[in-house]
Each structure stands twice: as C-alpha cells, then as structure tokens.
C-alpha cells in the first residue's frame, strides 16, 4: 500500500495555541536566523542603543556594553527557542506547566503588556518612517503601518518566516553602511574622541541591552513550534541566538552613535536623522526601517493575540479558534497599540527606557522559572494534553513557582534604578543596574530547590 504524503501546511495559518501535529511540521532552523535578525535590527532597537550615550556612556564604550548585554540576554532568551520543536505549542502556554492552568494567567497578562508596549512604540517609529516615505503625517503613517502589521499577523507563521528574509538582509546592509558613514571623516573623529569610561552608565547600558533580549522571552518558541520534533536543539538555539545578537548589536551601535552625533537633532526625530545620514540613499534607509519594524511589530500582534487566546481558553476550555475570532483578536490588539501610539508624548525615549526596565524586573524571574523547569526539573518532557486540562497533572495553581517568582521580583527592589523608583543599593552604586541579574539567579535557584520532591518523583517514575 502506497503511503499518502503528509498534507502541506496552508499559507494562511489556521492554528493558534493548539498543538502542532507531526504531519504539519516543516521548515529548517536556519530560518530562525532571519526571523530574529529582522525583529532585532529594527528602529526600536536603534532607539534602545541611543539610550546608551544619552544615559552617559561615551560613544566607544557603548559598543562593549551593547555587545555584552545582547550576549547575556540573548543566550538566556535563545534557550527558550528549543522548546518549540520539542513541545509544539506556543511559548506562554508552557507556563501552565510551571504556574498551573489558571496560575499562568499572571505571566500571560505581563506578556500581553510586552506585546502591546513594543507594538505601540514600534508604531510611533514605524509611523515616522512611513510618513516620511509617503509624505504624510506620522499619525497617518502609524495608522497605515498598523494595518500592514495586522494583515501580516493574520496570515501568520509561514508568511512571518518567509517575509523576514528580506528585511534581515536589507537591514544588515543598511546598518553596516551607516556605521561606515559615521565612523569616517569628521564624524569618525568626533566619535573617536568620545572614549571616556564611567562604570554606572556602562552597567546600565549592559542591562538595557540585556532587557531588550530578555523581553523577547515570551515570543521565542512561537516561531520554532512548527519545526520537526527531530530538529537539533543546538541548531534551534544557535540560529536564534546568532540572529538576535547580531541584529540588535548592529541596530544599537547605529543608535548610540547617531544619538551622540545628532544630539537635539536626533531626539524626537530619530527616523529623520538616521535617514539624513544616508543622503540621496535615504529612501533605502527608510525602506529598511519600515520593513524591519513591520517584521518586529507583526511578532507583537501575533504574540498578543495568542496571549489573549490562552487567557480566554482558561475559562472557555477551547484551544482552537474560528478564523473570524482569530482575526478579531489580532485587530483588537492592533487597535489598542495604535491608540497608545497616537497618544505618545514627545518624551518618547524616557518613557521607553522606563518601559524596558519595568519589563525586565518582572519578566526575568518568569524566564528563570520556565527554563529551570524545562531543562533541569522535567528534562524537556511534558504532557501536552495536560497543558489544556484544568484538572490535569499540572494543577490549577502552582504555589512553588509563584513563591520563586515573587521572591525573584522582591529581591530586585533595593537594586532597582528607574524613573519611578531608585533602590537604596542602586543609589549607593551610583545608579548601576544589576537588579535583573538577581532576579534570574534567585528565582532559578529557589525554584530548583523547592522542586526537589518533584524531581525525585519524576526520576522514580522514569519520566
């Protein structure tokens, strides 16, 4: 009897948070390089890099701060990527295995804030770029940009992977070209003279770069979950890490240099100033900014709708969505982000810095709990059906995970350094930001210690 070939996956995605069966698995891990390079080499990452010099780093010392922060945060985040092929479900629904079926709602709500926050900031900057390209207002540019992002998210997974190749390659060429322009001639001499070192801004710069990477944690497995289960873990993690770190580093170095050179001309007109550096080739820079931001914002729209779906499914018990419901959720996330973007103030850089640090404090303990559970407690083995069952083996609430998570947040308070609150130890350290490191370490260690009985049971059961 001749075996029928596996059906080819549809281009317009139909699935949401449900398990991806083996017959629908496809693709190669190399594609993750382009997805994460495109998402990270965006104008939003460029603005994050601008904060390096705005906060007091010299232009040259911003480079090692950017590289070190991206490597530290990127490695932790890339570890989540291996969960996609192994489990075949989105990133945040996996939190039910650690926090419980209903307990996972809290990290899901926090993840939703991440998606909407990055979506909104991306619409501000993407709207600037599209407005300049089409000679319309930035507000109209943001509206048009939001429509493009929503449509891309509705088409879904296969389109996201295919589309990312173009902005990744274009952004690489454009940002390398901009770095060359800024490091030669008079601008190069100005940058070379800025080489003083200050510890507190340097540490804060490392934390900002790390926070950029770590806030992608809730996204990562969403874009590897269709890969075959036999996909190499090393390849999945490696290509994700390489794309994320290279893309973000290039964009942040451009942003750091541009903010230092441009001063007031850069502040509030980030896209316009960057475009002016390219002279007659400015339209290519605009195109790279628009396509790169479209890639990143599509991930936010896509992840936002899956977070909402996971939250709603906890009460309805449904893990599959009708096409019109899926579209409605994506449009809803887009509308909320657009309202925030249109109401954004001129003090955008400061607001964005505070947003990044806020997310860092709350999401690093979640990431620590999730990774320890996956790699060290359950040894990558989960009951997928139980993730969708409130009466399953993972329970409704897991107080062990919550204790580790909450203590991981609390221990950061004395070390916090933000516009909202500066902890006493951060003050003694002249503003150096190390709170997130404690959040990762403390939550990981506590969760590992408190799950000793569970680890013993799993070993005894041979699971």
Q: How many CB atoms lie within 10 A of CB 111?
A: 27
Residue 282: inside a domain, yes or no?
A: yes
State the pLDDT confidence band at 9, using cuts at 50, 70 and 90: low
- Is 212 buried (19+), middle (13-18) or exposed (0-12) by CB count in 10 A? buried
Domain span holding position 208:
31-357
Query: How many percent of the chain have pLDDT more than 90?
Result: 56
For the chain, what is the domain count?
Answer: 1
Q: Give the pLDDT of residue 462.
A: 61
Of the ranges 167-176, 243-252, 338-347, which one carries the lowest mean pLDDT score?
338-347
Radius of gyration for the chain, computed over Cα atoms and rounded to the nearest angstrom: 22
Token pair in block for residue 379: 């040894």
Residue 123: inside a domain, yes or no?
A: yes
Q: How many helices (H) and strands (E) does the chain have?
A: 19, 0
Residue 291: inside a domain, yes or no?
A: yes
d(CA 361, CA 214): 10
Residue 223: inside a domain, yes or no?
A: yes
Residue 443: inside a domain, yes or no?
A: no
Q: What number is the average pLDDT over the span 161-175?
A: 94
State the pLDDT confidence band at 265, using cuts at 50, 70 and 90: confident
2 has pLDDT over 70:
no
375 has pLDDT over 80:
yes
Q: What is the DSSP letter of 5?
A: P
- In this structure, are residues 348 and 268 in contact, taking their beta carbons and an 8 Å threshold? yes
Angle of CA points 53, 56, 61, to nearest 5°: 65
Give tens-digit pLDDT for 64-121. 999 999 999 999 999 999 999 999 999 889 999 999 999 999 999 988 888 888 898 8
Choice between 249 and 325, residue whose per-residue pLDDT is larger: 249
Token pair in block for residue 3: 């075996």
Q: What's the CATH number where 144 sits? A: 1.10.4160.10
Choice between 7 and 328, residue whose per-residue pLDDT is larger: 328
Residue 62: inside a domain, yes or no?
A: yes
Give tens-digit pLDDT for 199-229. 888 988 998 899 889 888 888 999 999 999 9
432 has pLDDT over 80:
no
Which residues have CB under 8 Å from 314's CB, separation 6+? Answer: 101, 102, 104, 105, 390
Q: Give the pLDDT of residue 5.
A: 45
d(CA 280, CA 60): 28
Q: What number is the average pLDDT over the span 260-270?
A: 84
Residue 441: inside a domain, yes or no?
A: no
Residue 343: inside a domain, yes or no?
A: yes
Q: What number is the average pLDDT over the span 364-374?
A: 94
Q: Give the pLDDT of residue 4.
A: 47
């Amino acid at each position: 009897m001749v075996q029928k070939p596996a059906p080819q996956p549809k281009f317009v995605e139909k699935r949401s948070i449900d398990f991806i069966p083996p017959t629908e698995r496809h693709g190669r891990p190399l594609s993750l390089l382009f997805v994460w390079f495109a998402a990270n080499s965006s104008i939003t990452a460029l603005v994050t890099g601008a904060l390096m010099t705005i906060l007091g780093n010299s232009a040259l010392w911003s480079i090692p701060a950017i590289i070190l922060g991206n490597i530290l945060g990127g490695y932790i985040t890339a570890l989540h990527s291996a969960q996609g092929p192994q489990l075949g479900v989105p990133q945040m629904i996996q939190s039910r295995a650690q926090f419980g079926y209903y307990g996972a709602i809290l990290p899901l709500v926090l993840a939703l804030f991440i998606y909407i926050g990055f979506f909104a900031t991306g619409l501000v900057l993407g709207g600037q770029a599209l407005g300049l390209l089409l000679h319309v207002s930035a507000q109209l540019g943001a509206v048009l940009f939001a429509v493009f992002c929503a449509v891309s998210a509705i088409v879904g997974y296969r389109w996201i992977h295919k589309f990312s190749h173009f902005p990744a390659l274009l952004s690489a060429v454009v940002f390398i070209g901009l770095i060359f322009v800024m490091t030669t001639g008079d601008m190069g001499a100005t940058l070379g003279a800025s080489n003083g070192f200050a510890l507190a801004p340097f540490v804060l710069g490392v934390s900002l770069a790390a926070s950029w990477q770590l806030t992608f944690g809730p996204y990562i497995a969403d874009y590897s979950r269709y890969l075959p289960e036999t996909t190499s873990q090393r390849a999945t993690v490696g290509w994700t890490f390489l794309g994320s770190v290279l893309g973000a580093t290039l964009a942040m170095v451009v942003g750091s240099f541009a903010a230092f050179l441009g001063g007031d001309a850069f502040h509030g007109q980030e896209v316009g100033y960057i475009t002016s550096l390219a002279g007659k080739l400015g339209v290519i820079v605009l195109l790279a900014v628009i396509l790169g931001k479209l890639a990143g914002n599509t991930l936010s729209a896509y992840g936002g709708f899956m977070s909402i779906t996971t939250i709603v499914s906890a009460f309805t018990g449904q893990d599959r969505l009708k096409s019109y419901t899926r579209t409605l959720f994506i449009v809803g996330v887009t509308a909320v982000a657009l309202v925030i973007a249109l109401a954004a103030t001129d003090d955008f850089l400061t607001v964005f810095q505070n947003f990044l640090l806020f997310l860092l404090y709350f999401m690093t303990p979640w990431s620590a709990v999730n990774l320890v559970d996956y790699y060290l407690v359950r040894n990558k083995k989960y009951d997928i059906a139980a993730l969708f069952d409130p009466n399953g083996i993972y329970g409704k609430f897991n107080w062990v995970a919550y204790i580790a998570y909450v203590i991981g947040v609390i221990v950061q308070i004395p070390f916090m350094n933000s516009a909202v609150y500066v902890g006493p130890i951060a003050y003694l350290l002249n503003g150096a930001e190390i709170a997130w490191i404690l959040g990762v370490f403390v939550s990981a260690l506590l969760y590992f210690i408190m799950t000793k009985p569970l680890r013993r049971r799993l070993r005894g059961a041979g699971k």
